[in-house]
Structure 1
């Protein structure tokens, strides 16, 4: 079955790179907003009896989901057979429990919504905490890829005498993988969250680690409160200014500038979301998975 790959606005470079490596054509479409904010979608390429692969990272998902929905519905009406979504960052994974009465458990609700639109999903390191596997909430196949080998390769190539540091217990799964692959020691700090933008981080004294370069590793950098506080506390306790390494660079508001001001030696992220801090490409990871996936489809 023939495949066409479509890059949504802002995702065209990754779509073009994947198309070249996978040797499938790039589909053409017009996706834009009317002056009143409503979406306009037009498929310019023929999709009848073809499989469609959409490249769309889902930061700011409220703005992106309706165009995605309209695109998929139009493609199916035009005769597309199967629709796959390559979403390097997959949104609405963190609210996986009702913490207060009446709260929406948006991870499950968004999963139901997205599963009704596409037939398969490929993503990188979705934020799994209380949900142990994507099959618990998604009814379509989800291929989960892991960026840890990419982070480890970056550490090996760029840092001498590294010490991997996880800012909280949730980060331990990524920190441990990166540290083991890089043959480096690691620490996991204690975090107490007091609100969306207020956290408390406990850091042990730097005794014995003074000659190591700390590298803070986390999956999602959103408000960056955790990263900022951990950076400040590490420096206060006598560690070298840390390098901050992230998978998904959301960096809301002025959090990127605030992270630099907090004393981070540098900030390096994967390009799952386009950002000035991008220094690690995820395309090779996606290419390898998609070659196998598209052959089976």
Structure 2
């Protein structure tokens, strides 16, 4: 049986279809005072998989409510987008490691033999906070295959910075194209330029690839710079399309040709499904 969390209802349905398993009927609503209400209406089967991204505090609460219903059962828990994963370091005294706090809270509900899966979590070290077997799945090959099918002109895949180049390299090597990263150069206290480190993108189709797009500010800057440098068309690829606030407007104003993302978060741009990736991991 597959249980889809409130932010993963479509993905839960796709995983259920891929595995030919029943999709549980659940109710997600609120009490008059705003507290979250969760009910699993279907009769529970012996083997259960929960698919639940946690992009908001409310999603975390409802995931814990689901796990409370399943307390004592061995389950497979899939958290495609793991909220708070970026808060994995302490920069100032008194700051919490929120990624650790989320992992420990979730882990407390899991019975012996349960397994945890994430998809391109911000830092895999977060998984060390689970007592149970925790595995991070890689959706970069799915994005690479989608990019390959787009018929781009002399494409190059670019990471927005050196720290995120691993995904760009993996996708580029799968397709057999060039890759690079954007390097910042500071000219003064207020003037900073950004350009590909080695590759000339002039006249080429460029795909800027990262694990997530949040506010869109950095990506919008990258698009503008690449277009000013002569890029033919600029696309964005992302596993997690967080896209908060006016992010899409920023990207469109900067001149993005299209945004390619997976359904770890269910947005209008989520055209690449990770359901098959999750189903394959669960089978194995």
Structure 2 unaligned blocks of 5 or more: 186-190
Give 1:1-297 correspondences, 5 Å limit.
Answer: 4-47=1-44, 50-60=46-56, 62-76=57-71, 81-118=73-110, 119-128=114-123, 133-158=125-150, 159-191=152-184, 202-204=194-196, 208-292=200-284
Q: Which runs of 5+ in 1 are unaligned?
A: 193-198, 293-297
Secondary structure of the 1:189 match is strand
Is the 8 Å Cα contact of residues 189 and 201 (structure 1) preserved in structure 2? no
Name the CA distance, whole Å, in 1 between partners of 2:50 and 2:192: 40
- Tell me: higher relative CO, structure 1 or 2? Use CA pairs within 8 A at least 6 residues apart: 2
Normalised by the length of structure 2, the TM-score is 0.89
Query: How far 1:208 moved relative to its partner?
Result: 4.3
Return 214-223 or 90-99, whichever deviates more: 90-99
User: Any conservation in 2 of the 1:125–1:147 contact (CA below 8 Å)?
Assistant: yes
Change (3 A) 1:90 1:256: same
CA drift at 1:83: 2.6
Q: CA RMSD in A?
A: 2.2
**Is the CA contact 2:202–2:229 (under 8 Å) kept in the aligned structure 1?**
no
- Number of equivalenced pairs: 275
Q: CA deviation at 1:117?
A: 2.4
Deviation (angstroms), 1:64: 1.1
From the superposition, tell whether residues 184 and 75 of structure 1 become closer, same or farther in structure 2 (CA, over 3 Å): same
Distance in 1 of aligned mates of 2:272 and 2:172: 17
The alpha carbon displacement at 1:126 in A equals 0.3
**Misfit runs of 4+, over 4 Å:** 204-208
Deviation at 1:133, TM superposition (A): 3.6
Instruction: Give the TM-score normalised by structure 1.
Output: 0.85
SS of residue matched to 1:211: coil
